[in-house]
Amino acid sequence: MSEPSEHIVIVGAGAAGLMAARELARAGRRVTILEARERCGGRIRPLPASQFGYSADGGAEFVHGEAPVTRALLREAGLSLQEIEGTQWSFDGAGLSREGRHDPHEAELQAVLRDLKDDLTAADFLRRHFAGVEYERLRHSIERMVEGYDAADPERASTLALREEWMDGGHALQARINGGYGALIDFLVTECRGYGVAIRLGCAVSAIEQEGGAVAVRCAGGDGLACDRVILTVPLPLLREIALPASASARAAAADDIGFGNVIKVLLRFARPWWRDHGEDLGDMTFLLSDEAIPVWWTRYPDQHPLLTGWFGGPRTAELSHLEPQGLIEAGLDSLAGIFKRSREDIARDLVASAAINWAHDSFARGAYSWATPRTRAAQAILARSDGVVLFSGEALYRGRDMGTVEAALASGLETARMILRR
Ligand SMILES: Cc1cc2nc3c(=O)[nH]c(=O)nc-3n(C[C@H](O)[C@H](O)[C@H](O)COP(=O)(O)OP(=O)(O)OC[C@H]3O[C@@H](n4cnc5c(N)ncnc54)[C@H](O)[C@@H]3O)c2cc1C
């Protein structure tokens, strides 16, 4: 049974850390959050409304699927959602057309997926069942989804983990928070402070030391903080850089079996929605898929903000790793120029504000989010085991359907806190 006075240090003030902190502090635990950045939210990164006309999201933006923990929290916070509507388009190198044509092999795909018992990688799955030339379009759209949407490597990604996503033809329900994800973080921070959580910013944890029953968390600057227990919520690539007590370090090695992908996000705000002048009726366009350097674009529809967001996910983002934000913005403008058959200069004339983030370059994320390999479930089970002192939490630890999401992070934080409270 835990003592009510137990001091718990949470490393990371992202969705998982804040959620765990609130739950623990509410139950009377003493909680300190140590956060490397000078802000809370982690991979939820609001961009200034003064620049974009609304609080734009440089990181997480959509609420995917049912997301029960997120939706419950939104209700508590008095925040509302706007469901995504509109049409999806694609550019095949020659012209634009409405998506939504069903692949002629869709039923076959569903049948093979339904019968699948043993896991294999997405690439092996396609080679084994859909190798013929007649399946070329199906293969392309699946690979595009695995790389672009899941930010995953088809040669390593688990087919069983992706199965439901493919069987749905993607996530049916998608929504945005009015006020952006930043509003949800603001709510959690206020709640945490209200329950007495101490939040220390600018403290990059470098080591967790344990000697007998005594535990100390060290920040890069040398500061140490004594506590009884630590919850680590840092993104997977950062986990490898924190020195851990032997038993936690052995468990942390399992993280190698969890994939971690990258995303480049480009936000371009224009003076007017110029794409609507294009021949086709793009008035209600939401998503636009292409094979350009920045391949995926979306509008704010049904919101009328004249903003296009570019998205490039998966291992091939490494090809653009040499570009600084300005170079990514130019690559984005070039991609739009290719799709809409206009010059970059012409499009840039209407540009009012822009931002580009290659998440691999973010020192405290080193990428965007995790994805499952066939060994991920076993790895998560090892990481979730507790030695009583160091616990792992965060989106990558989530064992439900949508790992890599804010819902996954919130649910994981909550689960870790409840595990401590149950002892
Ligand atoms: C571009 C992009 C788009 C996304 N889109 C969506 C979306 O539309 N919908 C969705 O649901 N999800 C989306 N996600 C994923 C979602 O943002 C994450 O799954 C979620 O925010 C992760 O929360 P977390 O608390 O697990 O980790 P984080 O938010 O990364 O929090 C961990 C915290 O630990 C801190 N930290 C790191 N190292 C240290 C250290 N050594 N010491 C102290 N602190 C440290 C970090 O600064 C960070 O604040 C997106 C992510 C990205 C990058």
Each residue's pLDDT tens digit in the chain (423 positions)?
445 579 999 999 999 999 999 999 999 999 999 999 999 999 999 999 999 999 999 999 999 989 999 999 999 999 999 999 899 999 999 999 987 667 889 899 999 999 999 999 999 999 999 999 999 999 998 999 899 999 999 999 999 998 877 776 555 678 999 999 999 999 999 999 999 999 999 999 999 999 888 899 999 988 889 999 999 999 999 999 999 999 999 999 999 999 999 999 999 999 999 999 887 789 999 999 999 999 999 999 998 899 999 999 999 999 999 999 999 999 999 999 999 999 999 999 999 999 999 999 999 999 999 999 999 999 999 999 887 799 999 999 999 888 899 999 999 999 999 999 998
pTM score of the predicted model: 0.96
From 34, 43, 317, the mutation candidate for ligand 1 (largest count of ligand atoms within 8 A of CB) is 43
For the Cβ of 204 lying below 6 angstroms from any atom of ligand 1, the answer is yes
- The answer to whether the peptide bond before residue 273 is cis (omega within 30 degrees of 0) is no
Output phi, psi for 9, to 5 deg: -100, 130
Return the pLDDT at 172.
61
Which residues belong to CATH 3.50.50.60 in the chain? 7-44+180-258+373-422
According to DSSP, the β-strands at 285-289 and 87-91 are: parallel
Where b means 16+ CB within 10 Å and e means fewer, 360-394 reads: bebebbbbbbbbbbbbbbebbeebbebeebbbbbb
**Paired strand residues for 367:** none
CA of 134 to the centre of ligand 1 (A): 40
Separation of alpha carbons 383 and 253, rounded Å: 9
For the Cβ of 32 lying below 6 angstroms from any atom of ligand 1, the answer is no
For the Cβ of 60 lying below 6 angstroms from any atom of ligand 1, the answer is yes
CA of 197 to the centre of ligand 1 (A): 20
The structure tokens 């409304």 sit at 49
CA of 42 to the centre of ligand 1 (A): 5
For the Cβ of 263 lying below 6 angstroms from any atom of ligand 1, the answer is yes
For the Cβ of 365 lying below 6 angstroms from any atom of ligand 1, the answer is yes
DSSP 221-272: TS-EEEESEEEE---HHHHTTSB--HHHHHHHGGGGGEEEE-EEEEEEEESS
Return the pLDDT at 100.
67
Ligand 1 atom 10: residue of nearest CA: 405
**Paired strand residues for 371:** 259
Return the pLDDT at 2.
47
Name the burial class of residue 238, with classes exposed (0-12), middle (13-18) and buried (19+) by CB atoms within 10 angstroms of its CB: buried
Express each pLDDT in 195-251 by its tens digit.
999 999 999 999 999 988 889 999 998 888 999 999 999 999 999 999 999 999 999
For the Cβ of 37 lying below 6 angstroms from any atom of ligand 1, the answer is yes
CA of 141 to the centre of ligand 1 (A): 27
CA of 392 to the centre of ligand 1 (A): 14
Return the pLDDT at 101.
60
Separation of alpha carbons 162 and 116, rounded Å: 12
**Architecture, CATH, for domain 7-44+180-258+373-422:** 3-Layer(bba) Sandwich (3.50)
Return the pLDDT at 169.
55
For the Cβ of 215 lying below 6 angstroms from any atom of ligand 1, the answer is no
